[in-house]
């Protein structure tokens, strides 16, 4: 049990590191987005030097939709890790089957599935744009892990379903005298 507790503490620290990193990334992308509209020359000095001015000049609609994909995926990843942190913070290993833990695990599976689907749609859109001669080579890095997220969401969904049943059994056990 002490070993498990230690592993959970390490996981908590790792989740915090990921969360802070993803917050910085999401913030950097949003700042990039604002600068690429109002001051495009300055973008080359910013985070990841994500200069999509060519897209902006060719089609504003494509520019905004691609940036929307990037920002929404980044924010969903932040939300995902925030949920993981909350789960690890409030998880009581002596009594894990609570409705809070069950709902948090369900939320994690929904966020993961959303990220996976968004990544797949965005990757397909980028491929199409590439095919039509747009310079979107740098965008692939934002959605190259869509399939992994979908697989992960399936696994987490199975775990959340098992947890729901566990919560039911725990409630029944609590009401058995």
The nearest distance, CB 174 to another protein, in angstroms, is 9
Residue nearer to another protein on the CB measure, 2 or 175: 175
Please, are residues 112 and 149 in contact by the beta-carbon 8 Å criterion? yes
The nearest distance, CB 163 to another protein, in angstroms, is 19
Question: CA-to-CA distance for 83 and 12, rounded, in angstroms?
Answer: 11
Question: CA-to-CA distance for 81 and 16, rounded, in angstroms?
Answer: 8
Alpha helices in 39-141, H assignment, sequence order:
53-58, 60-90, 99-131
Residue nearer to another protein on the CB measure, 90 or 171: 171
- Which residue stretch of 30-38, 42-50, 77-85, 169-177 sits at the interface with another protein (rule: CB under 8 A)? 169-177
Q: What kind and span of H or E run contains 46? A: none
Q: The tokens of 159 are what?
A: 């775990």
Under rule CB under 8 A, residue 175 binds another protein: yes
- Which residue stretch of 31-39, 135-143, 149-157, 167-175 sits at the interface with another protein (rule: CB under 8 A)? 167-175
- Which residue stretch of 17-25, 56-64, 132-140, 168-176 sits at the interface with another protein (rule: CB under 8 A)? 168-176
Question: CA-to-CA distance for 2 and 58, rounded, in angstroms?
Answer: 59
Under rule CB under 8 A, residue 172 binds another protein: yes
Under rule CB under 8 A, residue 176 binds another protein: yes
């Amino acid at each position: 049990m002490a070993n498990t507790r230690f592993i959970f503490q390490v996981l908590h620290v790792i989740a915090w590191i990921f969360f802070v990193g993803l917050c910085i990334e999401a913030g950097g992308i949003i700042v990039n987005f604002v600068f690429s509209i109002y001051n495009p020359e300055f973008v080359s000095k910013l985070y990841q030097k994500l200069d999509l001015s060519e897209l902006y000049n060719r089609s504003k609609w494509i520019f905004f939709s691609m940036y929307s994909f990037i920002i929404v995926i980044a924010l969903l990843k932040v939300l995902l890790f925030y949920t993981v942190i909350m789960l690890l913070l409030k998880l009581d290993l002596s009594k894990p089957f609570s409705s809070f833990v069950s709902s948090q695990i369900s939320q994690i599976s929904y966020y993961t599935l959303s990220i996976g689907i968004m990544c797949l749609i965005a990757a397909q859109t980028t491929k199409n744009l590439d095919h039509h001669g747009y310079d979107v080579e740098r965008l692939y890095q934002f959605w190259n892990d869509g399939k992994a997220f979908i697989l992960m969401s399936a696994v987490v969904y199975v775990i959340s379903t098992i947890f729901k049943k566990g919560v039911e059994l725990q409630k029944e056990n609590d009401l058995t005298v």
